[in-house]
Amino acid sequence: MTTTDHRRPSADDPRVLLDEQVGMYEPVPPYPPRTEREAEFYTLGDGQLLINIGPHHPATHGVMRVVMKLSGETIVDLDPVLGYLHRGVEKLCENADLHQTIAYLDPLEYVSSLFCEWPAVMAYEKLLDVEVPRRAEYIRVLTGELNRVSSHLLAMGFHALDLGGLTPILYSFIERDEIVEMLASITGQRMLFNYFRIGGVNGDLNHEFMSRLGDWMSRATEQIEANVGLLNENEIFVRRNRGVGVMDPELAIKMCWTGPNLRASGVPFDIRRAHPYSVYPELDFDIPTRLEGDSLARYLLRVDEVKQSLRIIDQCLHQMPDGPVMAKLPRLLRPRPGRAFAAVEGPRGEYAIYAVSDGTDQPFRFRIHDPSFLHLQSFGRLVPGKLIADWMTVNASLDPIMGGIDK
Amino acid sequence: MTAVARAWSRLTLPGKVVFTLIPLLAVLTSGLIAAIVLFGGPVVEVLNANLGVVRFVAAATIILVITIPIAFLNIYLEMKVIALMNLRIGPDRVGPWGTALSVVHGLKVLMKEDFTPSGADPVVFTWAPVVTYAAAVLTIVVLPFAPGLYGQDFNIGLLYFFAMGGLGVVGLLMGGWASFNKYSLLGGLRSAAQIISYEIPLTLSVVGLLILAGTMSLNTIVEQQDGWFANWYVFRQPLAFVIFFIAATAEANRTPFDLTEADSEIVAGFATEYSGMRFGFFFFAEYVNVFILSALTVVLFLGGWNAPFEIDPLLDWIGGVLPGLGITTPVTVALDPGGLGLPLLFLILLVPPLGTLLFAAPFYLLRSSMRWWVALIIGFLLFNVVAGGLVMAWAYVSFEWVAGLLWFLGKTFVFVFVFVWMRGTLPRVRIDQLMGFAWKWLLPAALLNLFVTAFAVVLVRS
C-alpha cells in the first residue's frame, strides 16, 4: 500500500519536511481526539481558525497556553492548556521535612509569597498544637498586608499593561519596590521571602524596616490615589473594562471563586471574617464588595482592598505587643498522626493547605489549594462571544499567577 | 614582476587601498570629463526641457535621505519622553543624553539576520516594507517646509497626499498576508479595516477647510494663513482640527489606536515575522508617518511656516514711541563680507581664537582652581554657542526660508510630542470601539462640520 506524501522540504533546511495538509503552525494535538469535547473543539466551522495564545505571549501572565477558536476577531471557543510550569511541588513537599516545605511553597505565588507560607505554617501549628506568640501573629499580619498591597499594585499595573497602557505599571513598581525593599530588610529576600516559621516568624522587626515603613505610610495613600487616577478617570480604560467578563454570584460560588474576584460579584465572603485566623478579629477593617461582577469591578475592588490593607497596617503598628517572635519548639518536629486544614485570605483568594501527618517528620500528604486555578477554569464561561482583546481584559482582571496554577 | 609584487607586499593596508584608488579615480575622472565634453550639451538640453521631472527626482532623493534623521529624532524623542513620563532615565549612554542611541538602533537593525519564515511568500514578504516606506516618503514631496523649500507644488497637493498616504496600508496588508502567521494576518486585517475607516473622516474633515481655502495646493493654503495667528485655519475650523488629529492618530497606527501592532493581543501584528532591516523599514515608516501627519496638521491648521505674530507692526509701534532708536522696518542686516577684501581672511583667522580667549578669561581669572586648558575648552564651547546663535539670528533675519523652517519644525515637533505623550498616557481601544468611533462619531461630526462650513460660506457670499 502506498500513501501519498504531502510533505515538502523546508526552504531553510531541506531535511525538515513540512506537512502541507495540516499546516505548520496549526495548534492541533498530534494525536487523534481523546474526548468528545476535544473532537468538537478541534473541528473547525466555516470561516473559523485556531490560534495559539502562548505559551510565551506578553499577556498570559506566565507560561500559559490558550488555544482559541476564532471567527474573525470573535472568540468562539477556547481551551486553556496548563502544565508548562509544573514542578510537582506537592510531591516535593511530601519528601521534605516540615521546615523545608515552606521554602518550596514560596515560588508558587511569586508576587505574594507570604500567603503561600502562611497556611502551611498554620496547618503545621494545628498538627503540633503550638501556641504562636502574639507579636509573631501581628508581624505576620503586618507583613502579609504589605505583601497584599504590593501584589494588588502589580495586578493593577499589569491590568493597564495588558490594555496597552505603558505607564501605570511603572508607577505601580515604584510603590511595590519600596514595599519589597522593606520586606527584604527583615526577610533578606525581595521576592521569595521564606519568612514564616512554624511557631512564629524568622526575625523581629528591625530599624530599617520601621523607618522605611514609616516613610512609606506617610505618603502611600496619596501616592496610590494619584497612580490609580491615571486609570480610573481614563475613559478608554473604563470602557474597555465595563461589562466585560461579567460573573453572576451564583455561578461564581459554584465555580469555587474566592477573594477579590468573588467579592466583585457581590458575595461578601472573606476568610479573614468568615473563618477568622491570626489576630484579624482584633482589627477593624471593612470587606469591600461590588455588585457589577465585571472586569472594572474586579479592578476597582483591588483598589479598595489596598486602602483597607493600609488601615490594617496602621492598626498593627499601633497595637503591636512586645514579646518573643518564636514559640519554643524542639529541633526535630514530629507532629501527631492526623490531618489539618488551614486557609488564609490571599490577594487572589483562598490559599489553603491540607496536610496529613503519619507521625514522621515529613508530611504524608500535602495538598495545595490555589485560587488562580479555579478562577482560570471559568474562561469558558466569561470569554466566548467576546473579542480577542476582551480575553486579555478578563485574564488581567482575574489576575492569575501561573506558578500556583501549575504547581 | 617580482619587484612589483615585493613592493606591493611591503605596503600597509591603507597604502594598498590608496594605490588601488588613485588609478581608478584618474580613469573615472578623465572618463567623466570626456563624457561631459562629448555629451554634456545634449544632456543639459534634455534636463532643461524636463525640468519638472528633474526637480521631482531630485526632491524625492533628498527627501529619501532626510527621512532617516527625522525617524531617528522621533525614535529618540519617543524613548526619552516616555522614559521621563514613566519616571525612568531612558537612554543616557550613547552620545550626550543618549542622543546617538537611535543611530545605534539603526545599525543594530541593519546587522540583524534578515529572516524569511518557511511558508512565507518571499516576494510579497520582501516588498511589503518597501511599499509602506515608499508611501510614507512620497507624501513628503508635497509638504511645504518653508517659503521656496518644498518638493513639488501640486494644485492637487492634498489629494496626492491622501492618495499616497493611503498606499501604506497596502504594505501592511501585504506583510500580514505573506508572513504565513495568524497574528500577522489578524494584524494586517485590522490595519486594513482601521485605516480605510479612518481615511473617510480624515479626508472629510478637511473638505470644509478646502471650501474656505478654495485650493488644494498646500503652499497656497499656508500662504493664506500668514500674519497673526488669528488667521490660522484652526480658529475657523476647530471641529475639523480635532477630527483631523484623531483620525491622523489612527492613520499613523499610534496609541490609543495602535491595534495593528497591539503587543498584548497579537504580539506584533503584521510585523511579527519580520526581522532585520525589513522590520526596520516598517519601524521607520511609522515614525516618518508620525512626522508627516504632524506636519500636515501644522500646514493645514496652524499656519505652516508662518510665525504666529508679525514683528513689523510691533517694531513700527516701538519706533513711533521711541524715535531715538532709529528702528526701520522691515529689519535687515546689511552684511557684505566680500567688501572687506583681504582683511576678511584675518578676520576669519583671528575671531575664533580671540573669542575663545575672551570667553575663557573670566573662568580662568575668577576661579583659582581652574586649569588653563579646562578654561580654554569652556571658552571654546561658549564661543561656539554664541557664534552659532549669532549666525542663526542673522540667518533668521536675512533668509525667509530659515525663519520659516524653524517655525515649521518647531510646530511640527510639538505635535510629535503630543503623539508621544498620548502613547505614554493612554491604553489601547478595542477593535469594535475603534470602528464604532470612526463611523458613529467622527464621520457624522465631519459631515456636520462640512455642512456648517458650506452653509456659512454661502451665507457670507450671498
Name residues of chain A where pLDDT drops below 70.
Answer: 1-26, 29-31
Q: Looking at chain B, which residue has its C-alpha nearest residue A59?
A: B264
State whether A230 and B425 contact (CB < 8 Å).
yes
Strand, coil or helix: what is B47?
helix
Grid cell in block for residue B133: 516606506
Question: Which of A44, A48, A57 to mutate against chain B (most B CBs within 10 Å)?
Answer: A57
* Out of B126-140, B151-165, B332-346, least confident range: B332-346
What's the CA gap between B164 and B168, in Å, rounded?
7
Shortest CA gap A56–chain B (Å): 10
State whether B87 and A11 contact (CB < 8 Å).
no
Q: Looking at chain B, which residue has its C-alpha nearest residue A51?
A: B182
- Does the beta carbon of A242 lie under 8 angstroms from any beta carbon of chain B? no
State whether B183 and A170 contact (CB < 8 Å).
no
- Does the beta carbon of B435 lie under 8 angstroms from any beta carbon of chain A? no
Query: Which residues, numbered 210 to 269 in chain B, qualify as contacts with chain A under a Cβ-Cβ cut-off of 8 Å?
Result: 255-256, 258, 262-267
Q: Judge if the upstream peptide bond of residue A27 is cis by omega within 30 degrees of 0.
A: no
Who among A58, A161, A170 is closest to B87 (CB)? Answer: A170
Shortest CA gap A59–chain B (Å): 5
pLDDT score, position B414: 92
- Cβ atoms of residues A355 and A366 within 8 Å: yes
What's the CA gap between B63 and B76, in Å, rounded?
20
State whether B425 and A387 contact (CB < 8 Å).
no
Q: Where are the alpha helices (DSSP H) in B50-147?
A: 51-85, 101-111, 122-139
Q: Using CB atoms within 10 Å of the CB of residue B90, give its burial: 0 to 12 exposed, 13 to 18 middle, 19+ buried.
A: middle
Shortest CA gap B188–chain A (Å): 12
Cα end-to-end span (Å), chain B: 94
| pTM assigned to the model | 0.81
- Residues whose CB falls within 8 Å of the CB of residue A361, separated by 6 or more in sequence, listed in order: A97, A98, A332, A333, A334
Who among B85, B267, B426 is closest to A236 (CB)? Answer: B426
The answer on pLDDT for B357 being more than 80 is: yes
pLDDT digits 0-9 by tens, B278-307: 888 888 888 888 999 999 999 999 888 888
Question: Which of A16, A22, A25 to mutate against chain B (most B CBs within 10 Å)?
Answer: A25
pLDDT score, position B48: 81
Shortest CA gap B179–chain A (Å): 12
- Does the beta carbon of B9 lie under 8 angstroms from any beta carbon of chain A? no
ipTM exceeding the 0.85 mark: no
pLDDT score, position B180: 83
State whether A163 and B264 contact (CB < 8 Å).
yes
> Nearest CA to A305 among A283, A285, A279, A327?
A285
Query: Which residues of B are less than 8 Å from A12 in CB distance?
Result: 118
pLDDT digits 0-9 by tens, A51-99: 888 788 878 877 888 888 888 888 998 888 888 888 889 999 999 888 8
State whether A389 and B267 contact (CB < 8 Å).
no
How many alpha carbons lie under 13 Å from residue A399 in its C-beta half-sphere? 32
Question: Which of A388, A391, A394 to mutate against chain B (most B CBs within 10 Å)?
Answer: A388
**How would you classify residue A362: left for phi > 0, otherwise alpha for psi between -120 and 50, otherwise beta?**
beta
Q: Looking at chain A, which residue has its C-alpha nearest residue B189?
A: A72
State whether A165 and B181 contact (CB < 8 Å).
no
- Does the beta carbon of B424 lie under 8 angstroms from any beta carbon of chain A? yes
pLDDT digits 0-9 by tens, A33-49: 778 888 888 888 788 88
Who among B116, B119, B265 is closest to A388 (CB)? Answer: B265
DSSP B348-395: HHHHHHHHHHHHHHHHHHH-TT--HHHHHHHHHHHHHHHHHHHHHHHH
What's the CA gap between A345 and A114, in Å, rounded?
11
Query: Which residues of B are less than 8 Å from A14 in CB distance?
Result: none
- Does the beta carbon of A17 lie under 8 angstroms from any beta carbon of chain B? no
Burial pattern A330-358, b for ≥16 Cβ within 10 A else e, equals eeebebeeebbebbbbbbbbbbbbbbbbe
> Nearest CA to B296 among B199, B454, B157?
B157
Q: Looking at chain B, which residue has its C-alpha nearest residue A14?
A: B118
What's the CA gap between A60 and B81, in Å, rounded?
28
Question: Which of B82, B184, B426 to mutate against chain A (most A CBs within 10 Å)?
Answer: B426
State whether B431 and A163 contact (CB < 8 Å).
no
State whether B87 and A389 contact (CB < 8 Å).
no
pLDDT score, position A1: 42
Q: What is the count of residue pairs from A and B with beta carbons less than 8 Å apart?
A: 90
Who among B262, B426, B432 is closest to A234 (CB)? Answer: B426
Query: Which residues of B are less than 8 Å from A231 in CB distance?
Result: 427
Q: Looking at chain B, which residue has its C-alpha nearest residue A56?
A: B267
State whether A166 and B424 contact (CB < 8 Å).
yes
| Percentage, residues of chain B above pLDDT 70 | 96
Q: Which run of H or E residues covers position B28? A: helix B13-49
DSSP B152-169: ---TTHHHHHHHHHHHHH
Query: Which residues of B are less than 8 Å from A161 in CB distance?
Result: 264
State whether B86 and A167 contact (CB < 8 Å).
yes
- Does the beta carbon of B425 lie under 8 angstroms from any beta carbon of chain A? yes
Who among A10, A59, A387 is closest to B118 (CB)? Answer: A10
- Tell me what the pLDDT averaged over chain B comes to: 85
Who among A16, A58, A171 is closest to B264 (CB)? Answer: A58
Who among A57, A59, A166 is closest to B82 (CB)? Answer: A166
State whether B424 and A73 contact (CB < 8 Å).
no
Query: Which residues of A are less than 8 Å from B432 in CB distance?
Result: 387
Strand, coil or helix: what is A195?
coil
pLDDT score, position A26: 67
The answer on pLDDT for B448 being more than 90 is: yes
Ordered domains of chain A (ranges, CATH): 18-81 (no CATH), 89-406 (1.10.645.10)
- Residues whose CB falls within 8 Å of the CB of residue A125, separated by 6 or more in sequence, listed in order: A132, A198, A199
State whether B118 and A12 contact (CB < 8 Å).
yes
- Does the beta carbon of A21 lie under 8 angstroms from any beta carbon of chain B? no
Which residues are registered as beta bridge partners of A7? A19
- Cβ atoms of residues A110 and A407 within 8 Å: no
Give A130 or B462, the one with higher predicted confidence.
Answer: A130
pLDDT score, position A313: 92
- Does the beta carbon of A178 lie under 8 angstroms from any beta carbon of chain B? no
- Cβ atoms of residues A266 and A290 within 8 Å: yes
What's the CA gap between A228 and B220, in Å, rounded?
48
